[in-house]
């Protein structure tokens, strides 16, 4: 613990006293990638990220580190499921890249970014600390964000609506374990059917129906959340939870309600940002990295004609 604290030259840990010397043998306390200096960061007014799931193999830590190193903002909201306490409880998993993320967030707070952490259902153990402030990180159950052009947005993780969605909740798992299990089952079922002389049974047909249900579930969820925001008199809502980045507008009684979902860092690798004029955008970080790679290709070989394959790649 101590040696990685020493690496943080800007840190002042004098107030920690002996706490800094406590053994944390289970935790990999090393950096794999210290925060680089001199990167030209894209500055936003606000950044929202959620569903990082630190402590699981699913977390796309490298992408998130790259995002954190290339961006900055006045305010950053961590909209829940940042740390996956459920999974950590079952199996301890904490690679050094996950430390890199925690330290980057703490350093951001130290540099002056206002950081609001709204725990989700996977990190609900932090909800008991609502109202407290750790290392400059404010813990809230939900928040209201005022955009620079005067819109008021309700910010919450979004699992609050699971009860409302309960009847359709199981459908949300279709894209995950149920689908994988079904695929395995499909192989088994058809082996048995073949042995019995029965024709092939198509899973894809069944899966298509289920996926359609999942799409309907997501659409319904978005509507339920937006409606709840509308009832609270705000102009919109920002949430996470369902791992589906989306920007939508709903009309309830003639009033428009914005729905923003900041996606996740497991598959989508999305962030939601507010620009300095109040306009908002969902950023797909894989696209940003791809664009940067193309740009640096050209910078290295300036005289090179754009090749056919690159054209195709760009399209
Ligand atoms: Mn969640």
Task: Please state the domain extents for the chain.
Answer: 1-30, 39-163+235-314
How confident is the model at residue 224, as a pLDDT? 94
Between 170 and 186, name the one with better pLDDT.
Answer: 186
Ligand 1 centre distance from Cα of residue 264 (Å): 10
Between helix 61-70 and helix 285-300 the angle, nearest 10°, is 70
Ligand 1 centre distance from Cα of residue 80 (Å): 7
Task: Using pLDDT thresholds of 50, 70 and 90, give the confidence band for residue 5.
Answer: very low
What lies within 8 Å, CB to CB, of 175 at 6+ separation is 211, 214
Ligand 1 centre distance from Cα of residue 79 (Å): 9
Ligand 1 centre distance from Cα of residue 84 (Å): 9
CATH architecture of 39-163+235-314: 4-Layer Sandwich (3.60)
Residue 18's nearest CA partner among 43, 40, 1, 42 is 1
Residues that place a CB less than 5 A from ion ligand 1: 81, 120-121, 159, 241
Distance CA 293, CA 50 (A): 26
- Helices in the chain by DSSP H: which ranges? 2-7, 61-70, 85-90, 96-111, 166-169, 177-195, 203-231, 285-300, 308-314
Strand partners, 249: 258
Mean pLDDT of 282-290: 94
How confident is the model at residue 41, as a pLDDT? 95
H or E stretch at 45:
strand 42-49
Ligand 1 centre distance from Cα of residue 290 (Å): 28
Residue 43's nearest CA partner among 74, 69, 65 is 74
Distance CA 58, CA 222 (A): 24
Ligand 1 centre distance from Cα of residue 157 (Å): 7
Distance CA 203, CA 307 (A): 41
Residue 235's nearest CA partner among 221, 253, 249 is 249
Ligand 1 centre distance from Cα of residue 149 (Å): 29
Q: What is the DSSP letter of 37?
A: S
Residue 265 has pLDDT above 80, yes or no: yes
Give 56-105 pLDDT, tens digit per residue.
989 999 999 999 999 999 999 999 999 999 889 888 999 999 999 999 99
Percent of the chain with pLDDT over 90: 57
Query: How far, rounded to the nearest angstrom, does the alpha carbon of residue 259 sit from its chain's CA centroid?
Result: 16
Ligand 1 centre distance from Cα of residue 53 (Å): 9
CB 157 within 8 Å of CB 123: no
93: three-class secondary structure by DSSP: coil
Ligand 1 centre distance from Cα of residue 106 (Å): 22
Ligand 1 centre distance from Cα of residue 159 (Å): 6
Ligand 1 centre distance from Cα of residue 162 (Å): 10
How confident is the model at residue 2, as a pLDDT? 39
């Amino acid at each position: 613990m101590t040696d990685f604290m020493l690496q943080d030259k800007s840190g002042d840990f004098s107030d920690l006293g002996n706490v800094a010397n406590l053994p944390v043998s289970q935790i990999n306390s090393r950096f794999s990638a210290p925060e680089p200096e001199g990167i030209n960061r894209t500055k936003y007014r606000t950044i929202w990220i959620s569903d990082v799931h630190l402590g699981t193999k699913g977390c796309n830590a490298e992408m998130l580190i790259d995002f954190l190193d290339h961006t900055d903002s006045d305010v950053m909201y961590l909209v829940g499921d940042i740390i996956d306490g459920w999974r950590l409880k079952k199996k301890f998993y904490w690679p050094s890249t996950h430390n890199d993320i925690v330290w980057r967030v703490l350093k951001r707070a130290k540099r002056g970014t206002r950081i609001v952490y709204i725990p989700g259902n996977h990190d609900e153990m932090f909800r008991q600390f609502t109202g407290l402030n750790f290392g400059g990180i404010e813990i809230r159950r939900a928040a209201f964000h005022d955009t620079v052009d005067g819109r008021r947005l309700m910010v919450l993780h979004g699992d609050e609506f699971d009860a409302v969605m309960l009847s359709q909740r199981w459908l949300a798992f279709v894209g995950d374990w149920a689908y994988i299990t079904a695929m395995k089952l499909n192989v088994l079922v058809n082996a048995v059917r073949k042995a019995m002389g029965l024709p092939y049974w198509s899973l894809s047909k069944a899966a298509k129906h289920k996926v359609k249900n999942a799409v309907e579930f997501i659409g319904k969820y978005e509507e339920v959340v937006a409606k709840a925001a509308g009832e609270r008199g705000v102009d919109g809502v920002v949430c996470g939870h369902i791992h589906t980045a989306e920007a939508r507008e709903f009309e309830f009684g003639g009033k428009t309600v914005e729905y923003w979902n900041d996606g996740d860092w497991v598959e989508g690798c999305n962030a939601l940002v507010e620009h300095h004029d109040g306009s908002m955008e969902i950023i797909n970080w894989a696209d940003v990295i791809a664009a940067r790679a193309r740009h640096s290709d050209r910078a290295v070989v300036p005289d090179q004609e754009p090749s056919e394959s690159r054209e195709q790649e760009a399209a």
